[in-house]
Structure 1
Amino acid sequence: MDKDAMDDMFDVVIVGGGAAGLAGALTLTRARRSVLVIDSGSPRNAPAAHMHGYLGQDGESPAALLAGGRAEVARYGGEIRPGTAIAADRLPDGGFLVRCGDGSTVRAGALLVATGLVDELPAVPGLAARWGRDVLHCPYCHGWEVRDQPIAVLADGPVAVHQAQLWRQWSERTTLLAHTLRLTDGDRELLAALGVRVVEGEVTGLTVQDDRLTGVSLADGAVEGCRALVVAPRFTARSGVLSSLGLPTAALERDGHVIGTCVASDPATGATALPGVWVAGNVTAPLEKVAGAAAQGVRAAVAVNTYLIEAEGRRAVEAYRAGGA
């Protein structure tokens, strides 16, 4: 970000240039708002070659979707700057000062934070390098592409049995790798009834041939063949800017187990507890897919515009009364 562009003023600054942030920016620029998107260029789904379940865009690459979105925002006068927003301050006039990693600052009447999350992966050697390719977690995103192939589920957390049940819908050749999880008798009975094999032993690595996953290595030296490995990452909200404004993260729970963090917001609008600040996408809804994140960005943008309209109305009335006095 250009350090000479100090304290530029925008109606809205959007932190995050993924699907949620760009959808919000597109809505606000079409509403004739001055909008700046600060984009760190690190979308969560960057490792994936394709995205799915987005009507009209199924099979498109995440990079292509974002490139198209940036062009659309620019077409309506929105500005996109590469950089990392690290903190924000509330100003006396109710606006915000956003501080970036290169020392530059910008001002905004309202903030929309769509910084997403970080997937914290299990500590198995070689796993991270294949994340989003054949190491997967979401069957709605990737299940069709590995249908009927041998799928292994890594059981290192409380949702593993549920994952095995779920992925079995795409392939009857689904195996649960017990790894570090202690299965209950009820778990084992359910899996047996569903025809899901259970393989004992800790997973110590992956086997790869011709840049394709072929299996996993176990501590006893055995190799269990598979074409896809399912894991359950911990979802950690990228919340630095929000934390600087006093907005904490909350525990994300599923079936009584903590599986990550998120920033609480109104589910309909994305409004946070701090007036003038909205969130959209995985930073507040970690389980949301690309299409849902984009929809959240649109809803939040409408709420942001309403907030600005109301503030403008109050200022106009005050000026009108002062002029008539």
Structure 2
Amino acid sequence: MKHDVIVIGGSFAGMAAALQLLRARRPVLIVDAGERRNRFASHSHGFLGQDGIDPAVIWARAREQLLIYPALNWIDGKAISAGGQKDSFHVALEDGSRSEGRRLLFATGLRDILPEIPGLAERWGRAVFHCPYCHGYELNRGRVGVLATGSMALHQAQFLPEWGETTLFTNCAVQPDAAVRADLAARGVSIEDIPVVTLEGEADVRLADGRLLSFTGLFTTSRAVPASPIPEMLGCALEENPLGQQIRTDDSKETTVPGVFACGDVARVPHSVSLAVGDGAWAGAQVHRSLVF
């Protein structure tokens, strides 16, 4: 069967895009590897109507609703390559099968390259976060630490006093000048220049001088890159953003390859479930328009 659209990535953006297409009665295939970016978090916040719900539950409900539409075909599997051209694309899956479609939509999400601080990966999404709007409220204005990985840490340190007493760990990644230090001091931000050795306990920071500082939560900036190499293999241009890399798209969410679209975290900044859903809905409508006109 040749689908009108193959959506690679069945998380929030991909499903939101598919919903628009299914409601236009277009045959859609979703290929999902089951690797949601927020799978490490137990609660999702800031998404209207779903605040505080386990993101796995939100995902499962959405999938259940999509499967009601008879034009949907869903494959739990991993896409490994894609090729072809507008109106005649093909996607190869890890199990050896192959699917064909007139349009491709990448909603693969991102892979977070985390700072190489011992103990951080185990606490990612639980005590170490990237978005204060997603996780800051639940810290109840407790002590907040910022683990610097680059210049974005300075922006985080300026911003996070909205959510609690803030300490910036420069960790040999940034060197704030006198003006920046004065600005942070005016905001009540403490600065620790001693390197971080490891994370312990719930959200405790061990420094190279032996001190152990306790926090309610920690924030850092990962380098976020496309989770799948397929868009780049297909010829889609990538571009740098303040948080890493994304697929370049135009206002209609079409990539630099005609007939190939991208949406969600992999094609925009900043990142959140709400923004991914909105971006996916827009992308789905634009893909449908490309099939009509």
Task: Give the TM bin, normalised by the shorter chain.
Answer: over 0.9
1:289 to 247, 272, 292: 272
C-alpha distance after superposition, 1:148-172 (max 9, x if no partner): 101111123111111011111111x
Report what 2:248 is aligned to.
264
- 1:86 maps onto 2:70 in alignment: no
Give me the whole-angstrom Cα distance separating, in 2, the residues matched to 1:156 and 1:307: 41
Question: Contact 2:46 / 2:274 at 8 angstroms: preserved in 1?
Answer: yes
Aligned partners of 2:232 and 2:95: how far apart in 1? 19
Does the 8 A contact of 1:29 with 1:35 survive in 2? Answer: yes
Higher gyration radius (CA): 1
Runs of 4+ residues over 2 Å off in structure 1: none
TM-score, normalising length: structure 2: 0.96
What is the aligned partner in structure 2 of residue 251 from structure 1? Answer: 240
* Correspondences of 1:143-292 after superposition (within 5 Å): 143-171=136-164, 173-180=165-172, 181-208=174-201, 212-213=202-203, 215-252=204-241, 254=242, 259-267=243-251, 269-292=252-275
Provide the C-alpha distance between the structure 1 equivalents of 2:284 and 2:152, rounded to a whole number of angstroms: 34
* CA–CA separation in structure 1 for the residues paired with 2:219 and 2:182: 21
2: CA distance between counterparts of 1:97 and 1:55?
A: 36
Alignment check: 8 A CA contact 2:130 2:220 kept: yes
Q: Using the alignment, how far apart are the partners of 2:182 and 2:255 within structure 1?
A: 44
User: Partners of 2:191 and 2:279 in 1: how far apart?
Assistant: 39
Q: Is the CA contact (8 Å cut-off) linking 1:250 and 1:263 kept in structure 2?
A: yes
* Residues 212-251 of structure 1 deviation map (CA, whole Å, 9 limit, x = unaligned): 32x1001111111112111111111224221122113111
2:54 alignment counterpart:
61
Give the partner amino acid of 2:82.
A
- Once the 2 structures are TM-superposed, how far is the Cα of residue 98 of structure 1 from its aligned partner? 0.5
1-side partners of 2:276 and 2:288: how far apart? 18
Aligned residues: 291
Unaligned runs of 5+ in 2: none
Amino acid at match of 2:180: D
Residues 280 and 297, structure 1, Cα contact 8 Å, conserved in 2: yes
User: TM-score, length-normalised on structure 1?
Assistant: 0.86
Task: Give CA deviations for 1:259-311 in whole Å, capped at 9, x if unaligned.
Answer: 311111013x211122211111011114231111111111111111111123x
The match for 2:133 is: 140
Give RMSD over aligned pairs.
1.3
Which residue of structure 1 aligns with residue 19 of structure 2? 26
